[in-house]
């Protein structure tokens, strides 16, 4: 299991948190959003999902991984 913390711009409320965490869950990633810190901590299985796919899932929801 790998962990990464991504800096994500554009999340502003509980709805954003849910959107990001749900999108991550759909690709088998456990994500935790720190709204105030503009960070998303992800736990993932490196053999199953790439960090690029995780970033893409967040960006697909309309947020910017910086």
User: Which residue number, 27 or 35, has a Cβ lying nearer to Cu ion?
Assistant: 35
DSSP 17-56: HHHHHHHHHHTT-EEEEETTTTEEEEEE-TTT--HHHHHH
27 binds Cu ion (CB under 5 A): no
35 binds Cu ion (CB under 5 A): no
12 binds Cu ion (CB under 5 A): yes
15 binds Cu ion (CB under 5 A): yes
Show Cβ contacts of residue 59 under 8 Å, excluding neighbours closer than 6 positions.
65
Q: Which range in 9-17, 21-29, 38-46, 54-62 contacts Cu ion by CB under 5 A?
A: 9-17
């Amino acid at each position: 299991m790998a962990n990464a913390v991504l800096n994500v711009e554009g999340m502003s409320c509980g709805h954003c948190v849910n959107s990001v965490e749900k999108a991550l869950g759909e690709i088998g990633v456990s994500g935790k959003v720190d709204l105030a810190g503009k960070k998303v901590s992800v736990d993932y299985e490196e053999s199953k999902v790439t960090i690029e796919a995780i970033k893409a899932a967040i960006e697909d929801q309309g947020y910017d991984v910086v």
